[in-house]
Amino acid sequence: MNRLKNKTCFLFDLDGTIYLSEHLIPGATDLLAEIRRQGKHFAFMTNNSSSAKQQYLEKMKRLGIEVTAKEILTSTDATLRYLKMQNMKKIVLLATPEVEKEFQEEGFTIIKERGKEADCVVLTFDLTLTYDKIWTAYDYLVKGLPYIASHPDYLCPLKEGFKPDVGSFISMFQTACHREPLIIGKPNHYMVEEAMERFHVKKEDMVIVGDRLYTDIRTGLRSGVTAIAVLSGETTEDMLENTEDVPDYVFPSVKEIFDIMKK
């Protein structure tokens, strides 16, 4: 366990790891306070692209956790960074109004009608999804426009059950137009690279903590970062017995990580 105590940057998933809906996972605030006390870094690395960064800041404050914008890294951040690198400025965007505003503030033109000129289709966790949005995106996808999705999660964990996430939307479009998107968020490397730049750390200094094997844990395995699975969200012990995404450590929740860090 000394291997964990020597790490200097902890990247936490949110849904199912730090909280479930509006309920903190026991031990979360204690662990974050201990990391700060030791002079180390932490950040929240979430695939959930349904909320703008300011909404995350407000939610964390509401839950009693003080964080800065630098300490919140979303799949939206990584998607914006990728689109800028590719010089894609006119996008067909499926997103909540709050996230759409983030794209507009970063200089992107949002195409909402069929038959217009666009650079790509961008799929995020749109809780305001309508049939017209689906139809518009489909119309551009069948014409071969580049296709990007913020993340691949099929379900978003809640305190009681789950709700369909972007991965479910991806499956719908795959059925309709036989297209698969480029995934920007976890488990791909873009968010890890962003965290390395923000905190000036190396991969061997980092730990990823999450409840989902095919995103959080796979990110660590692909990127060469120590990966911890917690059983407070989606992953169960049965899933651990039947996965190729084997974490370095498994704990019931973040409380057990706190118990290790404080020793």
Alpha carbons 12 and 1: distance in angstroms, whole number: 18
259 known ligand binder: no
Q: Which helix (H) or strand (E) holds 134?
A: helix 131-141
Alpha carbons 77 and 149: distance in angstroms, whole number: 12
Task: Tell me the angle at which helices 75-85 and 97-105 cross, rounded to the nearest 10 degrees.
Answer: 40
Query: Which residues touch 125 (CB under 8 Å, ≥6 apart)?
Result: 48, 49, 50, 95, 96, 150, 151, 156, 165, 166
Query: Which residues touch 104 (CB under 8 Å, ≥6 apart)?
Result: 110
Q: Which helix (H) or strand (E) holds 31?
A: helix 28-37
* 48 and 75 Cβ atoms separated by less than 8 Å: yes
* 42 and 208 Cβ atoms separated by less than 8 Å: no
30 known ligand binder: no
245 known ligand binder: no
211 known ligand binder: yes
Residues annotated as catalytic are 13, 15
Binding-site annotation, residues for substrate: 186
Binding-site annotation, residues: 13, 15, 186, 211
Binding-site annotation, residues for Mg(2+): 13, 15, 211
